[in-house]
Amino acid sequence: MKYTKLGGSGLTVSRLCLGTMNFGPFTPEAESFEVMDAAHEWGINFFDTANVYGRGGGLGDATGGTDHVGGTEEIIGRWFAQGNGRRERTVLATKVYNDMGDWPNEGRLSALHIRRSLDASLKRLQTDYIDLYQFHHVDRGTPWEEIWQAIDVAITAGKILYVGSSNFGGWHLAQAQEAAHTAGLIGLRSEQSIYNLANRDIELEVIPASQHYGIGIIPYSPLRGGLLGGVLSREEGGVRRASGRALPRLARLRPQLEAYEKLCAEAAIEPATVALAWLLHQPAVTAPIVGPRTREQLQSSLPALDTELSDDMLAKLNAIFPGFKTAPEHYAW
């Protein structure tokens, strides 16, 4: 395994991050345990989850899965409870923002919800601290002064070590950081955004802002819902069944995907490996999130760590999936 620092912090994390969103809804608890054990076996120490994960897949409690919010955190907590250094060897990231119920103050980033949500996550995860506590979305209705005061209280209490964001725009990052610095706080150390060869929007402003403030990028959906994993060379079932949106995207991207898979075949590298390796070649990226359902799927992501893409290969990938210049040069002088 290869490691790097999380943004400008001193925290060391693996270059691949284990995403756990499938644990419970799609992957039963016993198999989820196997995947997490395998992650440690292969040196992956960075795990990402969220308080809202655990519903929607349909496995249900009777089959060893979950179909309720908080279910994924509960599975991770029971895995930690087995001991043998599982918690100590894990850099644990979870998130706050989404509605956890239908009563007022059960969502967003008010000081009240942050306090309640953090304590609930700690209980479900069976731990007394979160390494990286992430805002799952920007809250336009709560002032940053209130948010950072609530976070400062949690840090002082030892419940949070680092703070990150997810799905923020570049100016949201600037707002957050300037408010944090005014309050004498370090602020954000990571931003989790959708980022892959077929979706490079964050190159306009999010990545430049992140680099300016020392914020590490944690890309999610590195294979664009399976589309960058060699979907054209497999049966239609290769498109991730959990998202019907993949089918319209497939039709729209088909010419590019044909060129992409041809290029990967000529280089004798699996398309999924190329997509992950490309992200690992981007200077702002800390660790792409891989969200396997099985141990075998997790193992298939490991070759990307040792895959060096030549300048010629990178240029050809950029030609197939053009990116963005830093704003405003992309659209102005």
pLDDT tens-digit map of 14-35: 999 999 999 999 999 999 999 9
In a domain, 329, yes or no: no
Q: Minimal CA–CA distance to 226: which of 242, 245, 239, 236? A: 239
Cα of 173 vs its chain's centroid, Å: 17
Per-residue confidence (pLDDT) for residue 242, from 0 to 100:
38
For residue 241, is pLDDT > 60? no
CA dihedral defined by 36, 41, 46, 52, rounded to 10 degrees?
0
In a domain, 38, yes or no: yes
Q: Minimal CA–CA distance to 287: which of 159, 164, 148? A: 164
Spatial distance between the Cα atoms of 11 and 130, rounded to a whole number of angstroms: 13
Report the predicted TM-score, pTM, of the whole model to 2 decimal places: 0.96
Whether the Cβ atoms of residue 137 and residue 175 lie closer than 8 Å to each other:
no
| Eight-state DSSP code of residue 308 | P
CATH number of the CATH domain containing 273: 3.20.20.100
For residue 215, is pLDDT > 80? yes
Per-residue confidence (pLDDT) for residue 48, from 0 to 100:
99
In a domain, 100, yes or no: yes
**Known catalytic membership, residue 53:** yes
In a domain, 333, yes or no: no
DSSP letters spanning 158-210: TSEEEEEEES--HHHHHHHHHHHHHTT---EEEEEEE-BTTB-GGGTTHHHHH
In a domain, 77, yes or no: yes
Q: Which of 53, 97, 220, 260 is catalytic?
A: 53
Instruction: Kindly report, residue by residue over 305-317, the tens digit of the pLDDT.
Output: 999 999 999 999 9
47: helix, strand or coil: strand
At residue 110, φ and ψ (nearest 5 deg) are -65, 160
Give, to the nearest 10 degrees, the angle between helix 29-41 and helix 71-80.
60
Proportion of the chain above pLDDT 90, given as a percent = 92
For residue 235, is pLDDT > 60? no
In a domain, 325, yes or no: no
**Pair type for strands 17-19 and 46-48:** parallel
Spatial distance between the Cα atoms of 281 and 195, rounded to a whole number of angstroms: 13
| Number of domains forming the structure of the chain | 1
Query: Whole domain around residue 249: which residue ranges?
Result: 3-320
Per-residue confidence (pLDDT) for residue 234, from 0 to 100:
81
Band (pLDDT 50/70/90 cuts) for residue 332 is very high
For residue 237, is pLDDT > 60? no
In a domain, 166, yes or no: yes
Instruction: Kindly report, residue by residue over 127-185, the tens digit of the pLDDT.
Output: 999 999 999 999 999 999 999 999 999 999 999 999 999 999 999 999 999 999 999 99
Per-residue confidence (pLDDT) for residue 78, from 0 to 100:
98
Whether the Cβ atoms of residue 121 and residue 51 lie closer than 8 Å to each other:
yes
List CB contacts of 50: < 8 A, sequence separation 6 or more. Answer: 21, 72, 73, 94, 95, 98, 134, 136
Per-residue confidence (pLDDT) for residue 244, from 0 to 100:
66
Band (pLDDT 50/70/90 cuts) for residue 57 is confident
Instruction: Kindly report, residue by residue over 259-305, the tens digit of the pLDDT.
Output: 999 999 999 999 999 999 999 999 999 999 999 999 999 999 999 99
Spatial distance between the Cα atoms of 60 and 179, rounded to a whole number of angstroms: 42
Whether the Cβ atoms of residue 215 and residue 191 lie closer than 8 Å to each other:
yes
* Average predicted confidence (pLDDT) for the chain: 95
For residue 88, is pLDDT > 70? yes
Spatial distance between the Cα atoms of 328 and 313, rounded to a whole number of angstroms: 27
Spatial distance between the Cα atoms of 190 and 215, rounded to a whole number of angstroms: 5
| Cα end-to-end span (Å), the chain | 42
In a domain, 330, yes or no: no
